[in-house]
Structure 1
Amino acid sequence: MNETTVTLVGNVATNVEYRETLTGGVARFRFAVTVRRWDRERALWTDGPTSFYTVSAWRSLGMNVAASVSVGEPLVVHGRLKVREEEHEGRRKTFVDIDAVAVGHDLSRGTAAFRRAARQGPEASEVRVPAARVAESGRAEPPAPDLWQTPEPAVDPGLDTVGEMANGPVQIDCVATP
């Protein structure tokens, strides 16, 4: 599809409002982007006009935005641009919305401490627990805190190589042929 994607750098202008809907939770806030230009005559930076956008973040991104973002904070927002026109009190108005794909703090203007969010909902069932992490009771133990960490597979000392397939570790018996 031909969608227009944009990346904006600016500040949160309103409180983040989070609501649950039939299609998942959504966080919405207004985002202010002010143009800054170098004025050669005065040898200093000057502010240009400010543009305001309504940013919507859905599902887990929306929950994380609602828990992490406050008014005045500098952000980088990446998403799909949507322009809509509505008639309000007999006047035609144009609104510019961003359907966010990624939102993050602008680290050129401050620091942040990242905390990995706990997985919830249907996405949690997609986490595959390797066979090596199944307890003796036959139930899977919770995944390691670092989901990027590769677990050590169980190795049978009688076999030479260990591989990994979609269903867990696979041991391959290597036989030398004359």
Structure 2
Amino acid sequence: MNDTLVTVVGNVATSVEYRETPTGGVARFRFAATARRWDRERSVWTDGPTSFYTVSAWRQLAANLAASVAVGEPLVVHGRLRVREEAPGDGQGGQRRTFVDIDALAVGHDLARGTSAFRRGGKRGPEQAMTEGPEGVPMRAPEPVGT
């Protein structure tokens, strides 16, 4: 009820790591968001600092992420913001580190930057989601463009 919900637009920075747990599948990846601003003096767009987040997803969203997302793809991530601090460890120079995580509730490709084809999925793991369509029917390989 008092969770901080955020929506972040950016790019996938690492491969999606998927694993099964006793409570269902979990997927994790790093996500990069860079602010762009219009520089009036130079009349150009400039990049601001890049923020990195660790995104976690559970159950069917995790399996669908693992089957659908690759490094570099533009996404829109909506979820609960979690900020955590860790005590200093070896090699950190005695400084506390702050991490910002997002527990994803919804994830989608950013259609302002490309196209996507949606396939309704059932309850299955990431390996099946990549090779099977609805009702377990094998999917055909996509037709080459321009032939």
Q: Tell me which interval the TM-score lies in, with the shorter structure as reference length.
A: 0.7 to 0.9
Paired residue for 2:109?
A: 105
Match of 2:95 among 87, 91, 98: 91
Paired residue for 1:126?
A: none
Paired residue for 2:138?
A: none
Residue correspondence of structure 1 range 93-172 to structure 2 within 5 A: 93-120=97-124
Higher relative contact order (CA 8 A, sep 6+): 2
Paired residue for 2:79?
A: 79
Task: Please give the secondary structure, in 1, of the residue aligned with 2:85.
Answer: strand
Aligned residue pair count: 123
Task: Please give the secondary structure, in 2, of the residue aligned with 1:66.
Answer: helix
Structure 1 distance, partners of 2:101, 2:26, is 14
Q: CA deviation at 1:24?
A: 1.1
Letter of the 1:14 counterpart = T
- Segments of 5+ residues of structure 1 without an aligned counterpart are 122-143, 146-178
Paired residue for 1:63?
A: 63
Paired residue for 1:14?
A: 14
Q: CA deviation at 1:91?
A: 2.6
Show CA shifts across 1:118-145 (max 9, x none).
2359xxxxxxxxxxxxxxxxxxxxxx97
Paired residue for 1:30?
A: 30
Letter of the 1:19 counterpart = R
The structure whose Rg is larger is 1
Paired residue for 2:144?
A: none
Show CA shifts across 1:73-122 (max 9, x none).
0000000000000023233100000000000000000000001112359x
Which stretches of structure 1, 4 residues or more, deviate above 6 A after TM superposition?
none
Show CA shifts across 1:41-83 (max 9, x none).
1111100000000000100000000000000000000000000
Q: Percent identity?
A: 76
Q: What's the TM-score once normalised by structure 1's chain length?
A: 0.66
